[in-house]
Amino acid sequence: MYVVATPIGNLSDLTERAITVLTQVDLVACEDTRHTQKLLQHLGLRKVMLSVHDHNERDRIDQVAQHLSEGRSLALVSDAGTPLISDPGYPLVQALRERGYQVVPVPGPSALITALSAAGLPTDRFLFEGFLPHKAGGRRERLEPLINETATIVFYESKHRILETLEIMTEAFGTDRKACVARELTKTFETFYHGTLADIQAALRVDTDQTKGEFVVMVAGNPEPITASAYDTEKLFRLLLAELPPKKAAAVIAELTGENKKSLYQRALEMQGKV
Ligand code: SAM
């Protein structure tokens, strides 16, 4: 089975190899047959299609495996971009690999890499978070553990929630956190908004037309993360207790880490074997 990336907007981004593979395979497994039909029509191809989407992909595994075992080749595509990247296909690829079938990637566009390549944010390390939950509470919960993340964080977002998401991100990461929002990549109205989260929110609010389309939100990593880990605290204690009485050591560590002074003092006593 070939896993074939397709354009995220501009049809000229379909690779030569993707065209060859789509031309040669016996079947095309796709998220939405009507959507993929348009792409195949553009290429002048008529193919047997098999729908593989979030709601049926587990049931399709045996069927796909049957086709492969009978010698038929198959291309897996999604509506846009690279399959499995916030798109269906993971259970199918996992199952086929476990059963020993060959799975061949045919690389091409993906909104996250396209956005990062032109955003002007660090790309040496990044964390792809995909879509946040629909409910505001769920979104806040997902952002909380990311506050101290030092790598660039990449999210997908739809036009329905982009403003609300930016608002919640501003609350979580702070108004001054650097970010970039890429809208309608590779399409006529491609736009990059960059600056602080507050700047971007303001720019998007000015023109409601700007909230139409598809979005990739990239948030720069935290330049000043709070690094005090349990291990650091342990080490700090050992160093300070060699020089200071427990109460003073606990006060210094509380100041540095924001941890509770009383419980730190208790720990200092335990470490000194006084409790
Ligand atoms: N598999 C796709 C990929 O490789 O990028 C992603 C599919 S996901 C269902 C769709 C989301 O990807 C959109 O809601 C948007 O966040 C992002 N996206 C896809 N195409 C885009 C584009 N042309 N411009 C900006 N974001 C896009």
- Range with the poorest average pLDDT among 31-35, 188-192, 251-255: 251-255
pLDDT computed for residue 102 by the predictor: 97
Pocket test for ligand 1, best of 4, 79, 86 (most atoms within 8 A of CB): 86
pLDDT confidence tier of residue 225, bands split at 50, 70 and 90: confident
Predicted TM-score (pTM) of the model is 0.84
Q: 157 in ligand 1 pocket by Cβ < 6 Å?
A: yes
What are the backbone dihedrals phi and psi of residue 130, each rounded to the nearest 5 degrees, phi first? 60, -145
Q: In this prediction, what percent of the chain has a pLDDT beyond 90?
A: 77
pLDDT computed for residue 267 by the predictor: 87
Q: Could you report the per-residue pLDDT of 178-217, keeping only the tens digit for each?
A: 999 999 999 999 999 999 999 999 999 887 776 789 999 9
Q: 191 in ligand 1 pocket by Cβ < 6 Å?
A: no
For 141, the enclosing helix (H) or strand (E) is: helix 136-143
What are the backbone dihedrals phi and psi of residue 35, each rounded to the nearest 5 degrees, phi first? -65, -50
pLDDT computed for residue 228 by the predictor: 56
β pairing state of 191-196 and 178-183: antiparallel
Please give the number of the atom of ligand 1 that sits closest to the Cα of 78.
1
Q: 114 in ligand 1 pocket by Cβ < 6 Å?
A: no
Q: 88 in ligand 1 pocket by Cβ < 6 Å?
A: no
Which residue puts its alpha carbon closest to atom 23 of ligand 1? 185
Range 175-179 average pLDDT: 97
Q: Could you report the per-residue pLDDT of 130-171, keeping only the tens digit for each?
A: 999 999 889 999 999 999 999 999 999 999 999 999 999 999
Q: 82 in ligand 1 pocket by Cβ < 6 Å?
A: yes
Q: What is the CA radius of gyration of the chain?
A: 25
Judge whether residue 226 has pLDDT over 90: no
Pocket test for ligand 1, best of 215, 217, 218 (most atoms within 8 A of CB): 215
Q: Could you report the per-residue pLDDT of 67-82, keeping only the tens digit for each?
A: 999 999 999 999 999 9
Cα-to-centroid distance, 135 and ligand 1 (Å): 20
Range 249-260 average pLDDT: 79
Type of residue found at 166: L
Cα-to-centroid distance, 214 and ligand 1 (Å): 6
Q: 78 in ligand 1 pocket by Cβ < 6 Å?
A: yes
pLDDT confidence tier of residue 271, bands split at 50, 70 and 90: confident
Residues in the chain: 275
- Structural domains of the chain sorted by starting position, each given as residue range(s) with its CATH number in brackets: 2-106 (3.40.1010.10), 111-219 (3.30.950.10), 228-271 (no CATH)
Range 79-106 average pLDDT: 97
